[in-house]
Amino acid sequence: MPQVFRKFSKAHPGLVPVPRELLGAEQAHALLDGAVDAGFLSEPFVDDTLDFYPLLTDTFQAVPPERHPLATLPEFSLAALAPEAFLLHQADLVGRERASLIDQCRRAGFTPQVAYEGRQLQTILGMIASGRGVGLLRSAVLAMHRPVGVIHRPLTGEPLLWTLGLALRRENPLPIAQARIAAARAVAPHSLTLQ
């Protein structure tokens, strides 16, 4: 996002973006209402009324407590988590991503037992550290946080993905929104195609 903002500001020095921090569903509604001209959204919040230009994709890792028997392994399959209670972060696993997780678990031979879904990452990490279950968190989130009492491991097999992109209204997009797409394309020319 910082690179997109820099490119946009360089190309349009007279325009000063006014960022607003909104949750995914709030941001999608603000786009549809015309309250914002473009937004950075994860893919599950996008419907057929918005155009979506993917910028980056991240993978999920398993997050068990540090004293969990799987903690000694460098990686393991999703099926290894079958007996565990799942503690999920609502910001990451919603809509299609949540459906994808459930589908992958079923293909691995089990239905995940979701014990808790929360908004606060620290609450989820604390619950995992206390042994109440395991989590699935994005690699980028884990790189930014150094959680105490938990470990994280890559999952073998088909990856569970999370995609962030630029979204705007499909009908009558503002010229300013098109300028943001141009800035985003300059940053991620190979990733940024309309979905």
Q: How confident is the model at residue 154 (pLDDT cuts 50, 70, 90)?
A: very high
The listed range with the strongest mean pLDDT (4-8, 45-49, 70-74) is: 70-74
Task: Specify whether 89 is located in the same domain as 65.
Answer: yes
Residue 134, H or E segment = strand 134-138
pLDDT tens readout for residues 101-140: 888 889 889 999 999 988 888 999 999 999 999 998 888 8
Give the model confidence (pLDDT) of 22-37 as tens digits.
777 787 888 888 888 8
Q: Total structural domains in the chain? A: 2
Token pair belonging to 70: 């799987």
Q: What is the reported pLDDT for 66?
A: 94
Q: Which residue has the higher pLDDT, 73 or 92?
A: 73
Within this chain, do residues 166 and 72 fall inside the same structural domain, yes or no? Answer: no
∠ Cα 186 10 56 (to 5°): 30
What is the C-alpha to C-alpha distance for residues 142 and 151, in angstroms, rounded to an integer? 10
Q: Are residues 97 and 109 in the same domain?
A: yes
Q: Which residues partner with 89 through β-bridges? A: 118
Residues 153 and 172 in one domain: no
pLDDT at 70 over 50: yes
Residue-number span of the structural domain to which 173 is assigned: 2-56+162-187
Quick: pLDDT tens for 45-63: 677 788 888 888 888 899 9
- Asked if 178 and 103 sit in the same domain, the reply is no
Does 66 lie in the same domain as 141? Answer: yes
Where residue 21 sits, what CATH number does that domain have? 3.40.190.10
pLDDT value at 87 more than 90:
yes
pLDDT band at 195 (very low <50, low <70, confident <90, very high): very low
Q: What's the full length of the chain, in residues?
A: 195
Q: Are residues 118 and 93 in the same domain?
A: yes
Its pTM stands at: 0.72
- Here the CATH number for the domain that contains residue 157 is 3.40.190.290
Half-sphere exposure of 173 (CA within 13 A, CB side): 18
Whether 118 is covered by a domain: the verdict is yes
Question: How high is the pLDDT of residue 97?
Answer: 67
Co-location of 65 and 105 in the same domain: yes
Q: Is residue 192 part of a domain?
A: no
